[in-house]
A and B are shown apart, each in its own frame.
Chain A
């Protein structure tokens, strides 16, 4: 029966109010007391789609999507071959799309990738809606030092219509991205005293205010009859919960960072350096941040739509003949082959990332087992908002059944996102325009 299981779950959550959320947070802090390994999310976006060569060119083995062999097993294409060692830890998804995709200007598909928002008809006063990584951050922030890490090839937000970030706040505002490895490292691993003190002061003030509200609520409660007190109890419970979260955040400030080896980092790499060197360092930083549980939510825009920004020139730096955006518009055999070779380059970078996440260990397995890595684009080939190339890696401990090629006819990405949220323990009943969760293929056991 479609829908019902989710609705029941929602009803259940509402029925018990704040109580289910009131987990003993302090216990969740510090590695020794962790009841459950961290659950993490990382989104990796590549612009302009992937090379899906026309069949008449006879280079189907360069199509980004896998093919199938005689045993009906999927076969990595030449452009994703570097990912083959992780076969049992990843799956390819086809048929993904956002229903709002075809309605909006195709150049804003990166803005929509993690949000699914109706960009052609935004809610008054807004442009976008919350992105998946920020939804994860909302529910994981109390467990780690930074709610999220927002990265992009170009710093900042770019500009509306050609945005340089894929992350949007709860209010749907673009979150400026960071792109410089040294600055990221300094901020995450070398926190400065001054800002820590300011953070501590802000938390202390807030704790006092919550205390005062508790006082106020108690004085009202004394004036009320028995049955009304139940409602007031709910309010007090919620206040206590808020307070314990604040105390948890305050404690984080004093907990020392996990000792880690940083020697492999080259913090002089920038987006002007060799593309591979730049990406390697960015991925190494994300891996370190996950390992130290600095954050549990990362969004990284690898390159930008429509020839914006420095990444458009990367194919040229790699010896290909055209820029990224131009390659994505090609229809001839040579062009489509070159575009596929850029896909190959990106596969190599993602493979490096997966390798790193396999090296770091959580208590119950490698970091990748507790992390969902989503890699994809907002267009299948350029400006085509259907059948979005999508790869999902990791999450063995989160109930994912990896090693699949799920060829769905047409599936709302927001349904996949909702399912991913559930796998990550974020029990919301809707995300964007989702109509329910999915339970096929890789998600069979979520």
Chain B
């Protein structure tokens, strides 16, 4: 492999090569054997007619070695496998038009040509009327399904499935295709390990007293009467909160059961550490809780306006944490600005934890830009305070929104001043007199200004702004906003971040302090894994980050943090729910074989998603009995049986057992599982299983679908399906050119990747017509995404995705979504081929043929535009045929850059589509798809939905049936949820 191939060409060929590789998998024996229903006469006539014709006129140029135009026909035979039908059709086409064999080659006689065409017609008829063989199916749970299942079955939040090898991608782009799923010893070993680990984490010794760690850090200026006298050492680029501004205590939580409190270690001896920015060596002893838990800050430098953080008597004020840049040296890699963290040495190593943040929205003022004009001092509304440096009281005649202008006595460099108004403090850099807009109450107002000696402030002028003043309007929007508190957990490191979010941020709407609770499983976060006798001061330090989450830099009231309290492992009761879920108190106390049988039977029935057979019960009990015979405890013996259950194929596979080759209806348990793994990407719930048990599920299919779509679990389906259908993973691995696309940051990409999912989810839940996929007058976005499209002023939803009307001609629908357009680029140059192939495959379901091997790379000449280079490439023999079906779809997208944004300059985005329809630009393409070709779009949705729902590639005949059926629904405008219903009620789904 060369080291510096042409990027575009390489990416293109990796993509194509991948398709080829996936194709091979099927070829090498995993594909379902065809039922051999063809009449034997077809074999004979192939031998007498078609075979010799191919040999004589085609094979010389189209064989395994030659592959002219990427086509070989030497392997064709009378079996007419599904995957060869397209090729047969193509052969029929060229023979009819007499475009093959080429003019300069010997030509068949008309009679020979007709005989061949006749044979192909007959053969295709036979092949296409072939019924789809029905003989059950066995699908392995995908990694995602396995994860969801384990989580619901065991009530365990721990993420354990990282060690599983990833699922293979099928030709259709899906991970749940039974033909591409791989089984390997590594996979089996991993299942066994995960099952063991998971059960270990669920079960406790019910007679033991749990140990619970609890500590609280209170924050506020001078809050600690006995601060730690040591100057702490925290390594490169760390800042510490003043030792007096935080206090750590270990309160004992109130619990309904007996437990032991965990006391953190406070005595330490270390040899390696830091002194300032230097690493040092030498033994030092420490003895203080403040060497076990301390308040650390980073990224405080260079906040655009105001201080990234400050302490006030009531707590710690935080401005939104601006994400750090992705490149070392370009910008700080020390986490976001500001990055407040509680650093500590000890956290529990298992179970759930709860972090409670006492927080409020600060009754904040809006710091003004340097360019803001002052208010006229002679105004009747103006209240002037002279000598503001000494504390004074001002009487405000009227409540309202005021602008505060501070006049320095002399010219000075901009410096930081602190303005106290009542109990509130406003710190900002005074660049011009216009300083602050703030809402003030009527009456007495304590007033004090602190400014550096080099910049004495002569007078302050507070002017009430009329309601319609632009600044008053801006302030009203500002004060309505709520900061969002986010909690993160990770490991201390010098650079980058291992901090990961704990659940989702919460809006802090009140100016009163309230508790905000965050919970998670401790093992889902990086653990230090250092040995107990590690001699480094900074070894194994954990961090709890608390932030005001950032969206797009809009003005935001500061977040006030009063305290942060940690409790873990967090138990609602003892034994915890994960234990009671498996073994009841009575069973535990009895500890008899009968009790074991009860536990095992109950668990296996849920795990297998159906009542277990007696044989299964017997073999699982045998595991228990054998462990007992080996002297294992009752609980460990039960655990062995449960571990076997979780490694059994009855759990790991979705089976539809069939006894004949004919179509049979799914039984109700199979149906319940199939529905749940389709619409929830997870196991059936109690209601589905109860309906299956009573045999009522099929009759209630429609109601159940409605219920399932309404469930939050439906999001898991949309996420999984949309990610695979629309190839959203490409964005995750994109390395955008940061100079060209400064706004396509790591964080922005995370949100942009959600956009197609949230959009599709909205369309499905609201049952909107399929046209919206192509053309829609709204986007579904949060502030980050809206901001990317310059629609920031249309929403105040924070990180929440909501429909937003856009009124921009290029937006709306999936085609213009940045996640897709940027994902199909290399981060530098837009790639019409990739975009075209994507539209052909995903949107109109006219997938191009597999590329031939030995595809030449794109010409290297960078002086040519990509469009020109593609043209050269396309015109080479062997390329033109496929690219004629790909590139025309991609060219109209030239109006979007590689970051998925509409180009400002005019570009040639015209194209002639594969069906010879000319389109002038992107708008015309979209109109064409949304109006003239909406049938095809709806068919594509159906094709992909069905393929995903049944977990296998559709046969030629199934596709033809689907197309016919879908066109009959044209009148309805193809509402998306209706398409889902259609899939679930189709024989493809309901039969095995």
Contacts and interface: CB of A to CB of B under 8 A. Distances in A.
Do A and B pair up? The answer is: yes
A215 interface: yes
A217 B279 contact: no
Interface in A298-316: 306-309, 312
Given A125-B525, A156-B531, A241-B185, 15 more contacts: A17-B30, A102-B327, A120-B327, A158-B272, A173-B529, A206-B192, A209-B623, A219-B615, A225-B136, A225-B659, A228-B137, A231-B653, A232-B138, A307-B279, A412-B3
A162 B184 contact: no
A270 to B, nearest CB: 15
A155 B271 CA distance: 13
Contact of B640 (A126, A209, A217, A227): A209
Given A157-B529, A159-B538, A209-B643, A242 B192 contact: yes
Interface string A221-239: 0011111100110110011
Interface string B380-399: 00000000000000000000
A161 interface: yes
Interface string B833-860: 0000000000000000000011100000
14 contacts: A105-B495, A119-B496, A120-B496, A121-B326, A126-B162, A157-B531, A157-B534, A159-B534, A212-B640, A215-B619, A216-B620, A227-B136, A234-B183, A435-B10
Interface stretch (A8-16, A187-195, A352-360): A8-16
B526 A126 contact: yes
A409 B5 CA distance: 13
Contact of A2 (B2, B33, B657): B2
Contacts of A11: 20-22, 24-25, 28
A253 interface: no
A21 to B, nearest CB: 6
Contacts of B10: 2-3, 435
Interface string A393-437: 000000000000000111110010000000000000000000111
A439 interface: yes
Interface of B: 1-5, 10, 13-14, 17-18, 20-22, 24-25, 27-30, 32-33, 135-138, 159, 162-163, 168, 178, 180, 182-185, 187-189, 192, 235, 272, 278-279, 281, 326-328, 333, 491-496, 498, 500, 524-531, 533-534, 536, 538-541, 613, 615-616, 619-620, 622-623, 626-627, 630, 640, 643-645, 647-650, 653, 655, 657-660, 746, 853-855
Given A1-B855, A107-B494, A216-B649, A15 B17 contact: no
Given A174-B529, A219-B616, A224-B138, A212 B644 contact: yes
B647 A209 contact: yes
B644 A231 contact: no
Contacts of B13: 1-3
B644 A216 contact: yes
Contacts of A84: none
A326 to B, nearest CB: 11
A21 B184 contact: yes
Given A106-B328, A125-B524, A225-B659, A235 B496 contact: no
Contact of A410 (B4, B21, B333): B4
A24 to B, nearest CB: 14
B496 A232 contact: no
Looking at A161, A412, A436, which has the most chain B CB atoms within 10 Å of its CB? A161
Contacts of A239: 185, 188
B135 A225 contact: yes
Contacts of B644: 209, 212-213, 216
Contacts of A107: 494-495
B163 A212 contact: no
A124 to B, nearest CB: 5
Contacts of A208: 623, 626-627, 640
Contacts of A122: 496, 498
B184 A127 contact: no
A121 B3 contact: no
Contacts of B626: 208, 212
B30 A15 contact: yes
Interface in A143-166: 155-162
A14 B138 contact: no
B516 to A, nearest CB: 22
A171 B526 CA distance: 10
A393 B4 CA distance: 26
Nearest to B492: A160
Nearest to B646: A213
A213 B648 contact: yes
B163 A171 contact: yes
B184 A17 contact: yes
A120 B650 contact: no
A39 interface: no
B536 A7 contact: no
A161 B24 contact: no
A318 interface: no
Contacts of A409: 3-4
B495 A238 contact: no
A238 B188 contact: yes
A26 interface: no
Contacts of B627: 208
A71 B622 CA distance: 75
A160 B135 contact: no
A176 interface: yes
A196 interface: no
B619 A104 contact: no
A108 interface: yes
Nearest to A20: B184
Nearest to B523: A125
Contacts of A436: 1
B162 A125 contact: yes
A210 B196 CA distance: 12
A216 B185 contact: no
A402 B163 CA distance: 36
B406 to A, nearest CB: 41
Contacts of A155: 531
A161 B4 contact: no
B272 to A, nearest CB: 6
Contacts of B645: 216
A415 B3 CA distance: 9
A386 interface: no
Contacts of A40: none
Smallest CB-CB A-B distances: 3 pairs:
A15-B28, A436-B1, A105-B495
A156 B534 CA distance: 7
A10 B3 contact: no
A127 B192 contact: no
A388 interface: no
Contacts of A176: 529-531
A245 to B, nearest CB: 7
Contacts of B24: 8, 11-12, 15
Given A2-B5, A2-B10, A415-B3, A308 B279 contact: yes
A438 B492 contact: no
Contacts of A309: 272, 281
A224 B627 CA distance: 30
B688 to A, nearest CB: 22
A415 to B, nearest CB: 7
A154 to B, nearest CB: 9
A7 B25 CA distance: 11
Nearest to B325: A120
Nearest to A155: B531
A220 B652 CA distance: 12
A110 to B, nearest CB: 13
B3 A159 contact: no
B526 A127 contact: yes
A412 B500 CA distance: 29
